[in-house]
């Protein structure tokens, strides 16, 4: 049976084999003693690549040690602007009011800094690049206690700082209106030199407690989270007072587009001074993968804001599919036309050695020929029903432009000369997230058996699935990127086989005029067929078990299909 994706807008339908599925003022200010340094726990550079050389990794920029000297990007980087995205520790409400930077010394040896734009986020997405960042207000550059004298010579335009010379070296502080509920920061930067890396000794973030000692409810206006199904959604809160308890008398769901998905609101009745807590809501998406919104009204003894409205946005995404297929042993490979990478530690063969820590170029880094073909041979003596290819890191995207083409073909030939084998297009190609793959999926466009990456930021595993190919002996990946150099970095290529395919196949899938999915498959007259559906390829629900087959083909209309379903799978079997 063939695997066929059916796409309408954002909805995706996939049909899977039944036999074995897996489916500029200088001021001297002494900061308040209530200012607390925030723990920065994670960071990335976009578009990168981030600095990885020992002793100059990007992470050293927020490790608390001003003796470390860190490039945010590799020293040969020419892309600008770059964005440094930093995440704060979770579970604590941060009223961010200051960012402190030690040494933008890229000014010293690589021209003045033309842009440092400061934005913040209140999102909780694990993917820092997927968070929504917004501009700080009333930004100024100040010299606070511990900063270096004199201040840098700067010009400020809204939330962007421009350095007017290249001589500053040392700490200075960037202050702005306090932002409650901040979970991370973005520094977007560019200098006037030919190389676009930026040297930082330290980035620090500081939160200030609210002025006065009255009870003070601190909570983000919007909390956004992602889930894979039913569970508990938590909204962090904090008492900003230094002396008085915050008493919460009620938390109610008072609005939102999908309030029925939320229930059972739990909250702490009291928070001691400067104590953190959570408002918990039970959430059930009912197998609907979409965005859900609830508006909460929080009643408390905060004298300035006794009733506070906050918005909770929950994005329900399908859970990764649990694979039950078998890894195929790839025993040989070449690059055509080549030349293949042979430098020690980056040979092409490392791309299919089973070790994802190896980093492999398919061709030498100076290669300008495109497209290239990676030809891989499976072990002999075994029949491989190829159904999935898994790739770790199309990192050529990071340094050499987006990947314009990854075309997938397979072969059933056994010629020892891989270029002499006949390779055929796979059918019904689909990019999907399996358990063990990296979230989020890359942003791609699929045409036939070709994948085009639409951006340059993906780094990690993703899976390519297609109609099962029985007797596959090898694969071809034909690829080209938009950069001047045509090499492609791969950490790992893996191939997977599933069980023998059924002797019938789906030949058409579409929506009818009522918006219901229609499936048509090759059938035998009077054979009884059963049709099942699943949202995650793990739990299957039977739709019917007594459908009588017609001669030639049989259609089935899923009349109970609910419009708006993000992803659904069908499978067909004989009784």
Query: How does pLDDT run across 208-247, given as a tens digit for each residue?
Result: 754 457 898 888 788 888 887 888 998 888 887 878 999 9
Nearest CA among 22, 21, 23 for reference residue 501: 21
Closest CA to 102 of 205, 207, 29, 208: 205
CATH of domain 331-496: 2.60.120.260
* pLDDT tens-digit readout, 166-222: 777 788 999 898 888 899 999 998 888 777 777 777 899 998 754 457 898 888 788
DSSP conformation letters of 469-495: EEEE-EEEEEEEESSSS---EESEEEE
The position carrying tokens 């059972």 is: 264
pLDDT score, position 4 = 35
Beta strands across the sheet bearing 307-316: 222-227, 307-316, 291-300, 246-255, 270-271
Looking at residue 334, what is its pLDDT? 92
Q: What DSSP element (H or E) covers 397?
A: helix 396-400
Centre a 10 Å sphere on the Cβ of residue 441 and count the other Cβ atoms it contains: 15
Q: Please give the structure tokens belonging to residue 383.
A: 């029949």
Sheet-wide strand order for 492-497 = 326-328, 492-497, 384-392, 461-472, 430-432
pLDDT of amino acid 53: 77
CA angle 333, 335, 336 (to 5 degrees): 130
d(CA 200, CA 198): 7
Give the pLDDT of residue 21: 31
**Kind of pairing, strands 424-425 and 403-411?**
antiparallel
Backbone angles phi, psi at 256, to 5 degrees: 120, 155
| Distance in angstroms (rounded) separating the CA atoms of residues 181 and 178 | 10
pLDDT recorded at residue 397: 52
CA 65, CA 473: separation in Å to the nearest integer?
54
pLDDT at site 436: 87
Q: Which of 557, 448, 561, 446 is nearest to 508 (CA)?
A: 557
Among the listed residues 332, 328, 341, the one whose alpha carbon sits nearest the alpha carbon of residue 417: 332
The CA-CA-CA angle for residues 47, 174, 58, to 5°, reads 35
Domain limits, CATH 2.60.40.10, in the chain: 217-316
Residues comprising the chain, all counted: 575
What pLDDT does residue 211 have? 47
Token pair 């890894």 in the structure block, residue: 327
What is the CATH architecture of 5-18+502-574? Answer: Sandwich (2.60)
Nearest to 489 by CA among 499, 501, 479: 479
The 3-state secondary structure of 152-214 reads CCEEEECCEEEECCCCCCCEEEEEEEEECCCCEEEEEEEECCCCCCCEECEEEEEECCCCCCC
Q: Which one is the CATH code of 28-207: 3.40.50.300, 2.60.120.310, 2.60.120.260, 3.40.50.720? A: 2.60.120.260
**Cα–Cα distance, 2 to 309 (Å, whole number):** 51
3-state secondary structure of 33: coil
The dihedral built from the CA positions of residue 350, 351, 352 and 358, taken in this order, carries a sign that is positive
Residue 440 contacts residue 513 (beta carbons within 8 Å): no
Tell me what pLDDT residue 354 has: 84
| Angle 160-161-165 from CA coordinates, rounded to 5° | 150
Give CATH 2.60.120.260 domain extents, the chain.
28-207, 331-496
Judge residue 496's burial from the number of C-beta atoms within 10 Å of its C-beta, 0-12 exposed, 13-18 middle, 19 or more buried. buried
Angle at 334 between CA 332 and CA 340, to 5 degrees: 130
In sequence order, the 6+-apart residues with CB closer than 8 A to the CB of 317 are 226, 227, 228, 289
CB contact at 8 A, 357 and 314: no
Contacts (Cβ under 8 Å, ≥6 apart) of 412: 469, 471, 472, 473
Structure tokens at 393: 């890191």
pLDDT of residue 29: 30
Ranges of the chain whose pLDDT falls below 70: 1-35, 104-110, 209-212, 395-400, 499-505, 524-527, 536-538, 564-566, 574-575
**Sign of CA pseudo-dihedral 211, 213, 216, 220:** positive
What pLDDT, on a 0 to 100 scale, did the predictor assign at position 553?
Answer: 85
Tell me the whole-structure pTM to 2 decimals: 0.52
Pick the CATH number of 217-316 from 3.90.1330.10, 1.10.3720.10, 3.90.1150.10, 2.60.40.10: 2.60.40.10
């Amino acid at each position: 049976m063939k695997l066929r994706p059916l796409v309408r807008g954002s909805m995706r339908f996939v049909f899977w084999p039944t036999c074995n599925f897996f489916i500029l003022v200088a001021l001297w200010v002494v900061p308040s003693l209530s200012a607390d340094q925030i723990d920065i726990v994670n960071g990335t550079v976009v578009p990168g690549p981030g600095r990885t050389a020992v002793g100059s990794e990007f992470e050293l920029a927020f490790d608390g040690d001003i003796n470390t000297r860190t490039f945010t990007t590799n020293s040969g980087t020419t892309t600008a602007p770059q964005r440094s995205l930093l995440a704060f520790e979770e579970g604590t409400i941060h009223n961010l009011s200051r960012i402190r930077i030690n040494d933008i010394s890229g000014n010293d040896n690589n021209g003045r800094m033309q842009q440092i734009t400061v934005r913040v986020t209140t999102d909780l997405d694990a993917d820092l690049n997927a968070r929504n960042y917004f501009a700080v207000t009333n930004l100024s550059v100040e010299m606070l206690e511990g900063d270096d004298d004199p201040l840098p010579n700067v010009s400020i335009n809204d939330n962007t700082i421009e350095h007017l010379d290249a001589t500053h070296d040392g700490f200075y502080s960037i202050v702005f209106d306090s932002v409650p509920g901040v979970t991370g920061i973005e520094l977007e930067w560019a200098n006037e030199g030919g190389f676009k890396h930026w040297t930082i000794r330290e980035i620090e973030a500081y939160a200030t407690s609210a002025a006065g000692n009255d009870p003070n409810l601190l909570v983000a206006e919007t909390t956004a989270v992602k889930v894979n199904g039913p569970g508990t959604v938590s909204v962090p809160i904090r008492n900003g007072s230094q002396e008085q308890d915050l008493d919460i008398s009620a938390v109610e769901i008072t609005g939102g587009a999908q309030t029925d998905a939320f229930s059972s609101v739990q909250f702490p009745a009291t928070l001691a001074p400067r104590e953190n807590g959570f408002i918990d809501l039970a959430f059930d998406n009912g197998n609907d993968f979409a965005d859900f919104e609830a508006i909460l009204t929080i009643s408390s003894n905060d004298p300035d804001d006794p009733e506070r409205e906050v918005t909770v946005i929950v994005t329900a995404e399908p859970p990764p599919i649990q694979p039950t297929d078998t890894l195929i042993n790839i025993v040989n490979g070449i690059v055509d036309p080549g030349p293949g990478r042979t430098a020690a530690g980056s040979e092409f063969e490392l791309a299919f050695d089973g070790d994802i820590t190896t980093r492999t170029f398919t061709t030498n880094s100076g290669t300008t020929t495109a497209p290239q073909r990676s030809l891989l041979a499976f072990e002999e003596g075994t029949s491989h029903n190829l159904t999935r290819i898994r790739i770790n890191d199309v990192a050529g995207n990071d340094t050499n432009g987006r990947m314009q083409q990854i075309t997938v073909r397979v072969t059933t030939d056994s010629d020892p000369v891989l270029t002499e084998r006949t390779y055929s297009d796979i059918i019904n190609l689909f990019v999907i997230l399996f358990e063990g793959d990296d979230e989020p999926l890359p942003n791609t466009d699929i045409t036939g058996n070709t994948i085009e990456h639409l951006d340059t930021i993906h780094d990690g595993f993703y899976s390519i699935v297609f109609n099962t190919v029985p007797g596959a002996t090898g694969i071809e990946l034909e690829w080209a990127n938009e950069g001047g150099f045509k090499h492609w970095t791969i950490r790992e290529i893996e191939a997977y086989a599933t069980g023998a395919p059924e002797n019938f196949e789906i030949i058409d899938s579409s929506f009818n005029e009522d918006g219901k999915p229609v499936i048509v498959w090759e059938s035998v007259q009077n054979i009884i067929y059963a049709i099942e559906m699943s949202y995650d390829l793990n739990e299957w629900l039977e739709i019917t078990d007594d459908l009588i087959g017609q001669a030639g083909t049989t259609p089935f209309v899923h009349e109970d299909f609910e419009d708006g379903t993000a992803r659904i799978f069908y499978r067909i079997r004989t009784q």
